[in-house]
A and B are shown apart, each in its own frame.
Chain A
Amino acid sequence: MAINAEMRQADSLADNQPYDLPDATGHFGPYGGLFVPETLMHPLEELRLAYEQCQADPNFQAEMDADLRDYVGRPSPLYHAERWSRELGGAQIYLKREDLNHTGAHKVNNTIGQALLAKRMGKTRIIAETGAGQHGVASATVAARLGLECVVYMGEVDVARQEANVYRMRLLGARVVPVTSGSRTLKDALNEAMRDWVTNIDDTFYIIGTVAGPHPYPMMVRDFQTVIGREARAQMLERTGHLPDALVACVGGGSNAIGLFYPFIGDSDVAIYGVEAGGEGIATGHHAAPLCAGRPGVLHGNRTYLMEDDNGQIIETHSISAGLDYPGVGPEHAWLKDSGRAQYVSITDDEALAAFHHLTRTEGIIPALESSHALAYAHKLAPTLRPDQTLLVNLSGRGDKDMHTVARHDGLVL
């Protein structure tokens, strides 16, 4: 029953790792921090204190664990993709099935945690930004359950290309506000949510959907998502008797990836690969791969790798998957890159689509286009490893939301 609590304990016994970031001021080496207007400084401090209290409170953890079990359906299964592994002739590939969570992706692990925190802080209204709509749906879902007012900011461009998710949010009682400023995508939705928060700070809790934003968000969202890695680590040990040889996860903001990676950071024999959206190819400039092709700067409250021009203006990104279409990345990934603990690679739209179709036909699992980036890299990596080695891939979400995009790409209209 208390599987998550047990794993948490097992995990803290297992790693004697020196890694203990962020520091007290929210920095991962030179990255992260608190780059926000003065109005938000004190509210962020209050949030940090409230979060620390909840972390230390066994009742909060018990409530969280119960919700993850009964409402989300955790622990999510670990699935050995035997047919696919055999076909590739290399490492055994295991999929962490976050696609089987309630609402269809890993996003809900975080919204459950933040919504409980919002309730504890006495907030009556929650706001969120969303790109593909998965975080918006996960936020609207927990808001409906807790009886909180919910407003979701979404770029006008994304509202048009993710119609089904917009409707889901509205069914759940959320108000979806199309954002018409800037490039009218995820980054602008984040700007708009920040503006709302600054204005309605007294009664409003801002649920950020990824490990970006100002401290404590990158830490807090990571902590809520590490349930993925804690479970997977225990499941791999139980199933194979060993830790995996490598981890693979897609990285937009990077919350599913850090959730998987974090409990393995101290396990130096486990290779870690984060997969960014290569779009039409890094060389074309049409991509969303700041770690592979960007440089450090400051956006949305933290210092991290960014896609920017020579004048420090943020540039538009491109990816077939709206969930990876973001010019920044969580600051902890920036640190893991610089420190050499994780490697970041990119996968193009076409490679991701090929992996989407391949997994669907080989294993009968339709993955999200975001997760398909991780699968495509696993497809390349597995054959370079021996059949007695293992590869753990985070299948962060299911592909139902992507039917229209894939069909359109195949020349069909649904």
Chain B
Amino acid sequence: MSKKVVIPGELISAERKRLGSNVFVSGGKIYSKVLGISEDESEKASVVPLEGRYSPQQDDVVIGVVTRAIFAGYNININSFVESFIPKSAMRDDLKVGDLVSAKVEYVNELREADLGFARRMYGGEVIEVSPVRTPRLIGKSGSMLELLKQGTGCDIIIGKNGRVWARNGNIELLKKIVLFINDNSFKSNLTNSVEEFFKAEGIPVSAPKKDAIRVNNFVEESEVIVNDLEESELLN
């Protein structure tokens, strides 16, 4: 399979093909909409974007920042075009401006406004900002990259699809370095292997997880951790 960088308006295929994402048809031919990477020989004509802003999709896990607290609820910045709103009735605990929240996108309307659900406040940790279109590479095929990152750095990690990576405990400095490395080289293949080598060079033993053994559970698993640690962090404060 040969991959190539395509620019907006570049011809993807002159034949009829199944249409994937980020392509459009004009005069019976398929063209790319965005700057991205396309595979010539696949049956589906689609382009993986290299740049772009986050546009919310249903079931995305996002990490938001509280930008405004009013009587009825909170405005949450999820790195999208418009801010989302969470009513106070949906939140278990009070939020302040600047608090971090993890949530799931429940519904997106035609104006691309997102309704959030399962919102939880996040205690402690740091956020690394990356390009939203590159977060799939941070998770990897069936979560292999995420598993590797957790193993290598010992961090608790939540990857928000909106380009925010939340991490706590473990070697966060190392994680930052690797996340930015992946962010910069997201268009390369075999990233999991290079990251594995990266860890080995740092002297950290990791084993690439078997692909079928992993389940992506980016959300539920981590939110349980938060609940368990809630009391602990309150004691610390």
The yes or no verdict on A and B being binding partners is no
